[in-house]
Amino acid sequence: MLKLMALEFRKHRVVDILFKGVGLAMLIIIAFACLLVFVDLEESVSFNTYADISDMILIFTKSTFLIFSSVLLCRLVINEYKNGTINQLFTYPVSRKKLMSAKLTMVFLFTFVTIVMTYVVTGAIVLGINHYTGRIQEVLTGAMVMQYLLNLVINAFWSAGMSLIPLFFGMRHKSVPATIVSSVFITIILSSDFGSFQLSDFAMVSVGFAVIGVGFAYMAIRNIENKDIV
């Protein structure tokens, strides 16, 4: 599996995505987080506690990379079917299930790692700036840090599962736009405010979406050995 993932990594030039697209996305998230925290805006948009800041960074990060992962999904899977190059790939002496599993595992890990990495880097920069500005008066304890990191890992894991949901919509007509639009739609649903809460605040909602994503991935590879490629 690791060798297949390494081959896919080189074949699709995933390094370009990681060092260019992800780097740019991280810079935008960092800039936006610092703007909201350290620049005086309306009182209703102020962030005075680490819990508020943590939630804000997590929302931005999950939303960004859920959409970003759909682009990677298009590159690794949808475009292969759309352009017919998947036929050549399936002639290799490797089972189709392993090939598809490697591709989808890459999307899952990409989403998980980028969310964790961006959150940690953004949080560290916000803490560093606050050390000199003293904007946030709350004392950050070790217990709080461990709680935020645990929440990060859990949310990143569920988000990685959700990142596979657009596969279902993209594979129906081998459509790149459908794949990306579906990820945007999912992000809007989970991130939209409904009064004083968001759907993503409920653990069972996040778990349910993640299970659906993994289920769609399973259905995509379940009968792939005997399925004709159109």
pLDDT digits (tens, 9 = 90+) for 34-45: 888 887 655 545
Confidence of residue 103 (pLDDT cuts 50, 70, 90): confident
Distance CA 128, CA 122 (A): 10
* Percent of the chain scoring above 90 in pLDDT: 36
Q: What does pTM read for this prediction?
A: 0.88
pLDDT higher than threshold 80 for residue 176 = yes
The segment with the largest mean pLDDT, out of 78-82, 86-90, 175-179, 218-222, is: 175-179
Is pLDDT larger for residue 14 or for residue 162? 162
Q: pLDDT higher for 196 or 107?
A: 107
Whole-number Å distance between alpha carbons of 3 and 59: 33
pLDDT on residue 174: 85
Mean pLDDT of 91-100: 77
Strands 193-194 and 197-198: antiparallel
pLDDT, mean of residues 192-199: 60
- What was the pLDDT predicted at 44? 45
Helix-helix angle 96-133:203-222, to 10 degrees: 150
Backbone angles phi, psi at 198, to 5 degrees: -120, 155
* pLDDT higher than 90, residue 181: yes
The answer to whether 102 and 5 have CB atoms below 8 angstroms apart is yes
The mean pLDDT value for 133-153 works out to 89
Over range 157-164, report the average pLDDT.
Answer: 94
What confidence score (pLDDT) does residue 200 get? 65
